[in-house]
Structure 1
């Protein structure tokens, strides 16, 4: 207040101008478990010396890189677009190439990729969270996590165990059930759609559906999945899940997202979104997770249903940009709890 009064008493020409720093992307690297992880720190335009809120962005499943892409086939730029939107809101963001993607690659796991498990990804994200909080431009009391799809579970895991309490956790179209339960539902939905399109008979649907359930049970019993009766592509999927990816699958499937959410510190600001046309994570599958957030006494905005929004957070009529409903939900989340 004293500084404001003094400045107001001076002639306009005598008030020193505050230098402005333009928006920029800074390449960043950190080491965890013997692997150098590479990422992008996005800094919005800001006054020099100002400390800003920040967000760690966590990608979905599979080989999804720091930008939310699986090149060359899938390049929606989901996380890159989120970083730009957060920057317009005045927030720093960090996104990184998780194991098996981008410049990071498999790192220390390259010689034995079958040994990587889900906790390794959580440790990688936790190291990124601590690095983000340590940046000179960041207000370490205002660091949040936003995870998309499978990344939402990682965001929950980090928020539960972080030594420096997270200022909020955003779950965008999240993995809301156990990993193999989600996979089984998606496959059964695809079988039903194939029947509706005349591509499968009801008997073929039952046969393949039983094979899917049997293979899921095998994976959970630590047995090689029986792929008898499956189409070749589906058999190859389960052989990969029970082969080089077995350790990862078993360790992530052991986690129930709702149970993890119950461990969040009380009063943590939380956002959960679901899209009405999201075929991968339908809204009804997020109800138990939304209830868990309430039982954990988190604060709003809570669950927000995004009308006409798909899994990649866009409106299919305009897929080159994030849907306005998505941007509004993220903006509400970033403003919640701000003093």
Structure 2
């Protein structure tokens, strides 16, 4: 969860064909390395172009990663490699939709760029500007139709996609908000932590009184961070105390600026009729379905188009289910198809 605005965009570079046999008369599917520059940093990504007719302009989607140091493929090496964005690109290839995914700040080939010597100045709006530059790069690719662009974001990337949906030009025709960060960041962190403490209490690790004390201390820590007050961690378990302490210092600017965004308010800027898919998984402990209620209501008031909120049975935050622990679950693929067929 941790680490608006014209941007100079420069598209580069070399084509590497995917090792698939081409259908006679069609251009084979291929990946191309692209680069774009914003705020003095060059970001690098992968443009995937499905098989298509020569000269054909394709629908295209910008893929935005979740929170933390998540790279263009949706991975945080060496800790986690679910290949979330790679799998989304593969799924959209089947819908004849080109995709661009990129290494955001602090990941992959992009790294910290202009923020390398002062990472404490990196804030959430910088990531939004970077995503906007990526959208503009996708818009300007020779194979893409600039009037048929989508934004597909996962977790924090879904919140960024929602911001882009109301600011970029041309406006995207559709948004996929997959397991989105749909409330303020620190509220979501508090909810997640309280759920963990409640489960630990159920298992006998805390008494009910200790649980109430920790819950109160979590709320107090959130208030301290928002009001720039001294942080008191005495009543917090050490791991939770260290987490809140990590939100200070070099990370404070990012945390403050991310927490300032309330996604239901952002929905009001969408163009009426924008098709929006919002997914929530019943096994998602990080973004419970209930956290998307206010955003769902705001999208309805903004007159967004369908398919709207889709509840995914037994699907977790990485969009897996028990029968598909390493790939996108079928309900996820079906929900994407429901958006793209609009």
Alpha-carbon shift at residue 226 of structure 1 (Å): 1.9
Deviates more, 1:27-36 or 1:223-232: 223-232
Aligned residue number for residue 157 of structure 1: 163
Alpha-carbon shift at residue 288 of structure 1 (Å): 0.9
Alpha-carbon shift at residue 18 of structure 1 (Å): 6.7
Aligned residue number for residue 329 of structure 2: 323
User: Cα deviations across residues 163-205 of structure 1 (Å, max 9, x unaligned)?
Assistant: 2111111100101111111000000000001111122222222
Superposed, 1:179-258 pairs within 5 Å as 179-258=185-264
CA distance in 2, matches of 1:259, 1:139: 29
Aligned residue number for residue 296 of structure 2: 290
Per the alignment, in what secondary structure is the counterpart of residue 211 of structure 2? helix
Aligned residue number for residue 74 of structure 1: 80
Superposed, 1:10-159 pairs within 5 Å as 19-159=25-165
User: Cα deviations across residues 130-157 of structure 1 (Å, max 9, x unaligned)?
Assistant: 1001000001000110110111110011
Alpha-carbon shift at residue 251 of structure 1 (Å): 0.7
Alpha-carbon shift at residue 335 of structure 1 (Å): 1.2
Aligned partner (choices 142, 157, 167) of residue 173 of structure 2: 167
CA distance in 1, matches of 2:207, 2:190: 19
Alpha-carbon shift at residue 231 of structure 1 (Å): 2.2
**Structure 1 moving runs of 4+ over 4 Å:** none
Greater C-alpha radius of gyration: 1
Tell me the number of residue pairs that the alignment of Structure 1 and Structure 2 aligns: 320
Alpha-carbon shift at residue 123 of structure 1 (Å): 0.1
CA contact (8 A) 1:53 1:139 kept: yes
The two structures have a TM-score, normalised by structure 2, of 0.91
Aligned residue number for residue 17 of structure 2: none
User: Cα deviations across residues 249-268 of structure 1 (Å, max 9, x unaligned)?
Assistant: 11111111000012111111
**C-alpha RMSD of the superposition:** 1.2
CA distance in 1, matches of 2:182, 2:54: 41
Aligned residue number for residue 275 of structure 2: 269
CA contact (8 A) 1:56 1:128 kept: yes
CA distance in 2, matches of 1:222, 1:117: 17
CA distance in 1, matches of 2:219, 2:244: 11
The two structures have a TM-score, normalised by structure 1, of 0.92
CA distance in 2, matches of 1:294, 1:206: 36
CA distance in 1, matches of 2:282, 2:241: 30
